[in-house]
Structure 1
Amino acid sequence: MKKIKLLLVEDEIVLAGVVKETLEAHGFQISLAENGVQGWEQYLSFRPDICVIDIMMPKKDGISLVKDIRAVDEQTPVIFLTAKSETQDVIKGLQTGADDYMKKPFSMEELMLRIRTLLKRTQPNTTPSPAKTNTGIYLLGSYTFDHNRQELRHEKEQVRLSLREADILKMLAERPNVTTHRKNILLELWGDDNFFNARNMDVYISKIRKYLQHDPSVQLINVRGLGYKLVY
């Protein structure tokens, strides 16, 4: 079986060594970079299936690196690592194009779970459930949402969604006019409903709501104390 190629960009040598050793033990092929400049060089030569990137690094920070990656590659999943926990850092990281965000310190079990969750949505050898015959295309008012392509189209405008955005919108689109509980979304997509993951989800929900603002008949409603409802 082909090994999953993971680019790890982390300037903390001890942490990087632990993550690299653990992931290699689980069958991953790891390319390790110590700063954003090396990270960009290794991204171009290594062509990873997924990236795990620290935000605060010398020479070139993680956000700048991901901006460069997203300029040429909108598909490869990216997980940010950071010691910061302020909301603005989360928002900035996600707006750059990251698919997930983890605060240090973290457990390797949680990192492994998040990596595998993202890979399930990008690896072509993932076997779909036989019960799911949906083409992955949803008509939301005047929008066309293609989950497989991670695209939301409205007339001549097309928005490229991140993996998280596409997966959240899919969960809501499959249950129109019905409240989907926050906890269910968090457990399904993140595997944990802790506070930090909930704040991440709120960022994605806000971005999705902005994408849908061109058609007033399509509304992403916050059902206070419960979750979210997509009405169209």
Structure 2
Amino acid sequence: MRLLMVEDEKYMAEAVVQVLKKNNYSVDLVYSGEEGLDYGLSGIYDIIILDIMLPKMDGISVLKELRNNGIETPIILLTARGEIEDKVHGLDSGADDYLAKPFHTEELLARLRALGRRKTELINDGILTYGDIRLNPYTLQLQCESKETVLTLKESQLLELLIKRNGMITSKENIIEKLWGYDTDAEDNRVEIHVSLLRKKLAQLDSDVYIHTIRGAGYVLKTLKDGR
């Protein structure tokens, strides 16, 4: 799952990001409202963590602009102020959740899991299923019947993306944006390497699920019963 964190308290933000990464989230961190809006408008994030008090553009303004531009990404508002009025104002402006600073990272992680389950059709505490496979994006475990293996973070993110696309073709460009960010210098061969590694692990599990290449378009998940 890819997150965007918009927070100008650099020391605190960097500490939170380290915790998030240890919990297998990919996180982009920016320090101003203008940057947060620019990154958020890319539409590549699964959840946005947005502080209210930001330089250049406050969090509520960023939130409203994202919603006005059709960005439906779940947003958690962060603020040092705990008044009911701020909470109500943020939720009325389109936020999905609210967390007052200081907060425990365990609470933030719980809220991220809750929003992740709400955003996607997940079952059994966040397990993603497709065909005969079960993916736990939090532990990186991939299971097929009685067999299981542990994926790398990027392999898990790639498989998660393909499962969520649910039969739709996913281009290399879209994969790069979701896994590495829209301003990355990652190239197509990086995607090809991870697709190849993921294919090998699916084969090792004797899964009916495979990654089908649509030449010139991208990749799509299929099962053997779909036909090659």
TM-score under structure 1 length normalisation = 0.51
Distance 2:114 2:42 in 1: 25
Q: Which residue of 2 aligns with 1:23?
A: 20
Task: Note the alpha carbon deviations across 1:29-88, whole angstroms, 9 max, x for none.
Answer: 111110110001111336210010000011000000000111123531110000001121
Q: Distance in 1 between matches of 2:106 and 2:27?
A: 17
Aligned pair 1:37/2:9, yes or no?
no
Secondary structure of 1:57 counterpart: coil
Give the aligned CA root-mean-square deviation in angstroms: 1.7
Q: Which aligned runs of 4 or more in structure 1 are off by greater than 2 angstroms?
A: 72-75
What is residue 64 of structure 1 aligned with on the other side? Answer: 61
Aligned-pair identity in percent equals 42
Equivalences, count: 125
Q: Name 2:85's counterpart in structure 1.
A: 88
Q: Deviation of residue 127 (structure 1)?
A: 3.0
Q: Is contact 2:4–2:28 with CA below 8 Å preserved after alignment?
A: yes
Contact 2:43 2:73 in 1 (8 A): no
Instruction: Show the counterpart of 1:162.
Output: none
Per the alignment, residue 147 of structure 1 pairs with none
Corresponding residue to 1:127 among 123, 127, 132: 123
User: Which SS does the other structure have where 1:121 is aligned?
Assistant: helix
1:106 correspondence with 2:98:
no
Query: In structure 1, how many angstroms separate the alpha carbons of the residues matched to 2:71 and 2:34?
Result: 20
1:88 aligned partner, one-letter code: E
Distance 2:8 2:84 in 1: 23
Q: List gaps (5 residues or longer) in structure 1.
A: 130-232
Q: Following the alignment from structure 1 to structure 2, what is the Cα–Cα distance between the partners of residues 9 and 110?
A: 18
Contact map agreement 2:43 2:71 (CA 8 A) in 1: no
* Aligned equivalents of 2:43, 2:93: Cα separation in 1: 22
Distance 1:123 1:83, change over 3 A: same
| Contact persistence 1:31–1:46 (CA under 8 A) | no
* 3-state SS, counterpart of residue 119 of structure 2: coil
Alignment of 1:159-174 (within 5 A): none
Per the TM alignment, residue 97 of structure 1 is displaced from its structure 2 partner at its CA by: 0.5
Aligned equivalent of 2:202: none
Provide the C-alpha distance between the structure 1 equivalents of 2:3 and 2:65, rounded to a whole number of angstroms.
17
Conserved 8 A contact 1:52-1:81: yes
CA distance in 2: counterparts of 1:115 and 1:89, whole angstroms: 21
Quote how far apart the aligned CAs of 1:100 are. 0.7
Which letter does structure 1 place at the counterpart of 2:36? G
Instruction: Tell me which residue corresponds to 2:47.
Output: 50
Give the superposition deviation at 1:128.
Answer: 7.3
TM-score of the two chains, using structure 2 as the length reference: 0.52
Q: Distance in 2 between matches of 1:18 and 1:93?
A: 25
